[in-house]
Structure 1
Amino acid sequence: MKIKLFFILLLTGMGISVFAQNEGQEGIVFMENQPWSEVLQKAKEQNRLIFMDCYTVWCGPCKGLAKDIFPQKKVGDFFNANFVNAKYDMEKGDGKMLREKYKEYIIGFPTLLLIDQNGNVVHQMAGYHKADELIAGMKAGLEGKTLAAMQKKYESGARDFETIRDYVAALNGAFKKDEIRNILTDYLKIIPVEKLQDRDMWTLVGRYVVDPYSEAYRYVFDHIEKFQYRLDVDRYRLESQLEGGMSNAVKEIIEVTNRTTNPDTLKMMADRETRLREMLEKNTVKRFPTLLCKLTINDYRLKGDALGMYNMLNFADQLNILNYESAFRSATYRYIVCHVRDKKILNDCLKTLIALQDQESLAKSKLITQNYYDVIALTYEKLGQKVKAAEAKEKFEQLEKEKKAEMAKFFNLGEKDEK
């Protein structure tokens, strides 16, 4: 009797345990690494699309989806009701065949595909997505707003807000960032700039307003307070965005004028500089004084006025305008040292260069330091101090070797971490 009771309790407990396990499986129910033919057959029987998770065992984001996203009830409710769900390790079994079959869509892991009953990809996403993002992305695919459909619509000439928004959402889900940048940059050229003050429009295109020669950039610059207060745009981030675009434009002018003497090219750069200066001189964005100072020093260089460069550099140092511009300062000092004969100026440059190098030497990593020893050696040579020039050259070469060694160590560590 006791033995019977024991088995009854055991079986009852097992039943409760199994029931509890089934109750706990609220997430996506997958056909995992099962024959692809069976998945296709099930899709045909149920007249559904296939949701396929393409993963590998070493992929961190894949594990994140499997652990944190796929088990969620709201995710399971949506995917189990709408798709035949399958997942494959892309490095074994049918997964290897599917990786080859869909290689044009699998740009990395995880890749998430919607596939029709004939095995054709109709929608794709890539990377780790939060639950709501994943549901919204695949719901768009289910509703016909697939990446392929939106691309076709865009290529046919559709440029309304909804088309651009949905196309960008599909591209974002597929992790095609370069395409998004190109599409929204082009879109910015055709919309009235006043539309940028519309909240939905700004949310879509705002981060791509970075070209200081564009009408959109100028409009945002002129109305920065309105974007700050009316749209609650973060002023710090917006200024950083405008500064980043302006910095790239200034860098281009300096680099181009350093490597060419073509009069047409120089005139084009001068015209561009005039357009930039109009905004830079208003000083409404952080670091604009730094960029204006760099352009002014570059103008002196184009005139061959090394003394003007020297005086401007001293002025900038007094105001700490050129902090974090080590490479530019090094190039400027090199030009000055090469083109002045006044020993007082050379000695002043030497004193400053040594102080700058001492400051750089305090950095914990050599990867982020500027090596001024080559310019220091050049200055010693101009002053006729050959022994010290040779010592500085030796220090320059030694520091470069140390930087290369640290760089190699850094990348080797990175490779080990990946493994």
Structure 2
Amino acid sequence: MKKILFAVVAFCMLQAGAFAQTNFEELTLEKALEKAKVGNKLVFVDTYTSWCMPCKYMANTIFPQKEMGDFLNSRFVCVKYNTEEGEGSEIMKRYGISAFPTFLILTPDGEVRHKIVGGSEATADFIKRVAEGLDEDTALGTLTRKYEAGERDVFFLAKYAKALLTIDDPKVLEIAGLLIENLNDAQRVDTTFWFVYEHPALTPVGSPNMEYLLANAARFQKSVGKERVNEKIATAFDVKLTNMITGRDRQSGLEVIDAIEKEMEAYEFPSKERLKMFAGIARAQRGGDIEKLLATCEKDIPRIEHEHLLAVFFPLSLTIKRNGNADQQARILALAKKLLAETTNDKFKFSLGQFIPYALEK
């Protein structure tokens, strides 16, 4: 009798364990769609690769959580595919997947209801992202079909643009542009549509959106808040100058730096002094004079918070190492060692510790 009772308890525990985590079934996509149709469910698809660390994190940390399993198992037929092999590679092509992990929510007919790109560090956050795919107002596939059917209401376009931003879809540039075109002057400074101006990809330095923002900064400050507007402008300048210093932007010349320096004077934000130094470094770099660039770095780099040097110091150092004379190479090495000895930023310390022997001491 005790053996029977133990067996029953063990069986129940196994059954409970089976549903305590996400139940990914070993089914072809066709079979998963058929099962979803019969069970009146949707299909949740996890597409991954063997080398993707966020994919492994989701598989080992998020999907085994009971809360995650309870949410997904009751609503979806869940399947996962390695896109490097078999059916997974075909699914990647069929649904235009180019980043990992990518999660699809499919209707039983195989149409994309929603797409999620990238994992989450917390279970609650990922549940929220999946839930957006169940909501008619935020499900990407639903919004896409409405747009293709001719929907052009500005509030709809705003929803669609926000959904596209969550997956970094380049189509957002088209939708955000159309949105701005359809807004009247009062709507353009309204908080509802501020996300267009706040996002760096939609409002970079030199774009029509940025020109409008700068020309109407006082109006935006009144509706959105002075601190938030100023921070957006500072961030845009920061990204532009950083891209110029690192070489991601090779087209912009000294006139762009002049314009940024002039515009900065009208605003107050915490990073202003650093951005002035970035402007000076970018100016010296564009001038092509290694001695001037090195002298500028020796003067300004030690005054910049190390967290902001992660992007810019390494390309600057390589420029001086490759194009400078022996004395200049020794000076940039000395500056790097000084920073290594002084930094308390773990990421910068690790990166600099790896960089010095392999790039500057050779």
Paired residue for 1:243? 237
Distance 2:297 2:215 in 1: 42
Which of 209, 222, 226 aligns to 2:222? It is: 226
Unaligned runs of 5+ in 1: 1-7, 259-268, 292-320, 336-349, 376-391, 414-419
What is the aligned counterpart of 2:87 among 91, 97, 101?
97
Whole-Å separation in 1 of the counterparts to 2:257 and 2:30: 63
Match of 1:180 among 172, 176, 188: 172
Cα deviation, residue 49, structure 1: 2.9
CA distance in 1 between partners of 2:273 and 2:62 (Å): 47
Q: Which residue of 1 aligns with 2:118?
A: 127
Does residue 1:111 correspond to 2:102, yes or no? Answer: yes
Q: Find the partner of 1:81 among 46, 50, 74.
A: 74
Name which structure has the greater RCO, CA cutoff 8 Å, separation 6+. Answer: 2
Q: Once the two structures are superposed, what CA deviation does each residue of 1:24-69 show, in whole Å capped at 9, x if it has no partner? A: 5555653433344543442343243322222234422223323443
Mapped contact 1:112–1:126 kept (Cα < 8 A): yes
The question of 1:328 aligning with 2:283 is answered yes
Task: Name the CA shift for 1:248/1:59 in 2 (closer, same or farther; >3 Å).
Answer: closer
Count of residue pairs the alignment pairs up: 320
| Pairing 1:195-344 to 2, within 5 Å after superposition | 195=187, 198-203=190-195, 205-207=197-199, 208-211=202-205, 213-214=208-209, 216-218=212-214, 220-223=216-219, 225-226=221-222, 229=225, 234=228, 237-244=231-238, 279=263, 282-284=266-268, 321-322=276-277, 325-332=280-287, 334=289
The whole-number CA distance in structure 2 between the counterparts of 1:80 and 1:241 is 42
Higher-Rg structure is 1
- Is the 8 Å Cα contact of residues 116 and 122 (structure 1) preserved in structure 2? yes
TM-score, normalised relative to structure 1: 0.56
8 Å CA contact 1:125, 1:137 repeated in 2:
no
Indicate if the aligned counterparts of 1:151 and 1:167 stay in contact, CA closer than 8 A: yes
2-side partners of 1:354 and 1:249: how far apart?
19
TM-score when scaled to structure 2?
0.64
Distance 1:330 1:144 in 2: 48
Contact 1:327/1:370 (8 A) holds in 2: no
Aligned-residue CA RMSD in angstroms? Answer: 5.0
User: What is the CA-CA distance between 1:97 and the residue it aligns to?
Assistant: 1.9
Q: Please name the residue that 2:347 is paired with.
A: none
1:368 maps to amino acid? L
Deviations 1:50-90 (A, max 9, x none): 22222234422223323443344554444333322222333
1:86 is paired with a residue whose SS is strand
Matching residue's letter, 2:115:
Q
Deviation at 1:246, TM superposition (A): 7.5
CA distance in 2, matches of 1:331, 1:144: 47
Match of 2:46, as an amino acid?
A: D
Change (3 A) 1:200 1:16: farther
Gaps of 5+ in 2: 303-308, 337-350
Q: CA deviation digits over 1:361-383, x for unaligned, max 9?
A: 989976433756999xxxxxxxx
How far did residue 177 of structure 1 move? 3.9
Paired residues of 1:210 and 1:242 also in contact (CA < 8 A): yes
The Cα offsets for residues 390-412 of structure 1, whole Å up to 9 and x where unpaired, read as xx745568999xx9xx99x86xx
Counterpart of 2:222 in structure 1: which amino acid? K
Specify whether residues 234 and 399 from structure 1 end up closer, same or farther in structure 2 by C-alpha distance, changes over 3 A only. Answer: same
Does structure 2 conserve the Cα–Cα contact (< 8 Å) formed by 1:112 and 1:124?
yes
Distance 1:188 1:51, change over 3 A: same
Name the residue aligned to 1:4. Answer: none
CA contact (8 A) 2:253 2:286 kept: no
Is the alpha carbon distance of 1:165 and 1:82 closer, same or farther for their aligned partners in structure 2, counting shifts above 3 Å?
A: farther
